[in-house]
Amino acid sequence: MKPAVLARKVGQALLAPLIAVVVAVLVTSVVVVVAGASVSEFWDVMTQPPSSRNMVNIVNQSSMIFLAALAAAIGFRMNLFNIGIEGQYTLASFTAAVVAGMAWFPGKLNILVAVVVAMVVGALWAGIAGVLKVTRGVSEVISTIMLNAIAGTLVGYLLSNHGQQYGQGRRTTPIPESSQLAGWTPFAEKDGAIWTLVLLAVLAGVGISFLINRTRFGFDLRATGMNEPAAVASGVNVKRMVVISMLLSGAIAGLIWMPALFGGADYYGPPFQRTLGFTGIAVALLGRNRPLGIFFGAVLFAWLNEQANPLALVADISPSVVQITQGVVVLAVVIAYEVVRRWAAAAEQRALRKALDEQPTAEGVAA
């Protein structure tokens, strides 16, 4: 009985993503056909084994997407829609780059300080939305959207007025050489290095996973997400939880770009990678807000992005087609989860009835 139940649960968990991937493949193929390109060439390019260089990039990109999705997932687990990851990591990345560029501290300590600053800035920016929600009843969806726009303009203003002229644009002072991390080169030198601070993603993943599943705080957080009035009645201070989880979410968001900053980006400027915050939201939905699911989602997204690069050259298809695949896979997965959930709930009811019918009832009265 027990292994069978486990097998069914695993099956149910995998069914939805499977359906979603199939749907996404179909939709993308249709779009490719509509655009007048060859479907087989397209999938040839997408599924060929990545080169060593691609592998390194996929790992690096996955780490940032993973952190972004993790940040979103913390909020989602308690029904807080922190749409503001984008603004939080933009502002945090900028501030951290400025602090690291100042080089107030020597070598590795400088890195530590900058990372902490990034977390604090991200947390505070997200905290504004949290405080507005609990004190003034402002929906975090709207406030974080506003805060995204404000953060974007604020950073633009600071950079253009106080940044360093560099080529066409402006940038922050590059971090000193002593604070740059060489990373790990698994292949040839020319294939690039896996950033050292990819480790941040691993640490954050393990840490958040433990926090949510094994601690009282995590239980309170999940309880609030599942049924807020019940959580209140059980003694959870929901207002405090909202602020804390926004702070936590923002702190993780602050980490997003840190692997890149100390792994070769060296400064905040025009090459800064935007929209990771929104990608993170999509991946969190895809991974069902579970760290393991998010991990697979992040790798999938990074894979798609990286493999799409040669599309224009080889198959004459714009690489932006993978954005469609990504969007469809997210929407399909949430729909598929809903369908599977209903089906599983009905199945559980059936199994329960069956089990109870076999049990002899004490009196003549059954439940």
Partner 1 sequence: MTTVSQEKAGPAVSGGGIEVRGVTKRFPGVVANHDVNITIRPATVHALIGENGAGKSTLMKILYGVQKPDEGTIAVDGQQVSFASPTDAIKVGIGMVFQHFMLADNLTVLENVTLGGESLFGIGDQARAEINRISDAFGFDLDPDTLVEDLGVGERQRVEILKVLYRGARIIILDEPTAVLVPQEVDSLFANLRELRASGHTILFISHKLDEVLAIADDITVMRRGTTVGEADPKTATKRQLAELMVGSELPSPETGESTVTDTVLLELAGVNVVDEGGRHLLKDVSLTIHKGEVLGVAGVEGNGQSELVETIMGMLRGTGEITLAGTSMGSWHTRERREAGIGFIPGDRHLHGLLLDAPLWENRMLGHQTLPPASKGGLIDRRNAKADTERIIAEYDVRTPGINNTARSLSGGNQQKLIVGREMSGEPILLIAAHPTRGVDVGAQAAIWDHIRRARREGLGVLLISADLDELIGLSDRIEVILRGELVAEFDPRTVTPQDLGAAMTGGKESA
Partner 2 sequence: MSSVMSVTAARREEAAQKRTRMYYLIGLVALVSVALVRVLTGAHEIDSQGSLRAAIVATCPILLAALGGLWSERSGVVNIGLEGQILLGTWGAAFFTYYYGPYIGLLGAVLFGMAGGLIHALATVTFGVDHIVSGVALNVIALGLTTFLAEAFFADLDSKFGHGGAQQLTGLQKPFTITIPGVSDFTSDLAAKHWFLVSDVAAFIAAVTTSVSIVTVVVFVLVAVTGWVLWRTRFGLRLRSCGENPYAAESLGVNVRFYKYVAVLISGGLAGLGGGYLALVSSPGFHTNQANGRGYIGLAAMIFGNWRPGGVLLGSGMFGYTDSLRLRDPATIHAMLLLVGAWLIAFAAYKLWRRQTRSGIVLGVFGLFFLVWFLTTDEVPVDLTSMTPYLVTLLVLAFASQRLRMPAADGQVYRKGSVG
Query: Which one, 145 or 299, has the nearer CB to partner 2?
Result: 145
Q: For residues 68 and 286, is the Cβ–Cβ distance under 8 A?
A: no
Q: DSSP string spanning 54-72?
A: HHHHHHHHHHHHHHHHHHH
Residue 274 as a binder of partner 1 (CB under 8 A): the answer is no
Residue 348 touches which of partner 1, partner 2, none (Cβ within 5-8 Å per kind):
partner 1
> Among residues 31 and 344, whose Cβ is nearest to partner 2?
31
Q: Indicate whether 348 belongs to the interface with partner 1 (CB under 8 A).
A: yes
Which two three-digit tokens encode residue 327? Answer: 């969007």
Interface with partner 2 (CB under 8 A), residue from 19, 23, 102, 145: 145
Chain-centre distance of CA 308, in angstroms?
A: 20
Q: Which is nearer to partner 1, 10 or 30 (CB)?
A: 10
Are 89 and 281 contacting, i.e. CB atoms less than 8 angstroms apart?
Answer: no
Task: Please report whether residue 359 would count as binding partner 1 according to CB under 8 A.
Answer: yes
CA distance 9 to 13: 6
- Can you tell me the distance from the alpha carbon of 250 to that of 122, in angstroms, rounded to the nearest whole number? 4
Single-letter residue type at 11? G
Cα four-point dihedral sign 159, 196, 326, 316: positive
Gyration radius of the chain over CA positions? 23
Cα distance between residue 332 and residue 96, in whole Å: 37
List the x/- string, 226-265, binding to partner 1 by CB under 8 A. Answer: xx-xxxxxxxxx----------------------------
Question: Among residue numbers 171 through 230, which ones bind partner 1 (CB under 8 A)?
Answer: 213-220, 222-223, 226-227, 229-230
Enter the tokens of residue 200: 């941040």
By CB under 8 A, the residues from 110 to 139 that bind partner 2 are 132, 136-139
Sign of torsion, CA 290 291 293 294?
positive
- Contact call for residue 227 and partner 2 (CB under 8 A): no
Task: Give the tokens for residue 154.
Answer: 């604020």
What is the smallest separation between the CB atom of 193 and partner 2, expressed in angstroms?
30
What residue 356 binds from partner 2, partner 1, none (CB within 5 to 8 A, per partner kind)? partner 1
Contact call for residue 7 and partner 1 (CB under 8 A):
no
- CA 39 to CA 344: how far, in whole Å? 35
Chain CA centroid to CA 248, Å:
14
Tokens 């493949």 locate to 25
For residue 46, the SS3 value is: helix
33 binds, among partner 2, partner 1, none (CB under 5 to 8 A by kind): none
Instruction: Select the span of 114-122, 278-286, 292-300, 351-359 touching partner 2 (CB under 8 A).
Output: 278-286
Out of 13, 19, 116, 324, point to the residue binding partner 2 (CB under 8 A).
Answer: 324
Q: Is 276 in the site for partner 2 (CB under 8 A)?
A: no
156 lies in the binding site for partner 2 (CB under 8 A): yes
Binding site for partner 1 (CB under 8 A): 5, 213-220, 222-223, 226-227, 229-237, 345-356, 359, 362-367
Binding site for partner 2 (CB under 8 A): 31, 34-37, 81, 83, 132, 136-139, 141-143, 145-147, 149-150, 153-154, 156-157, 160-161, 278, 281-282, 285, 318, 320-328, 330-331, 334-335, 338-339, 342
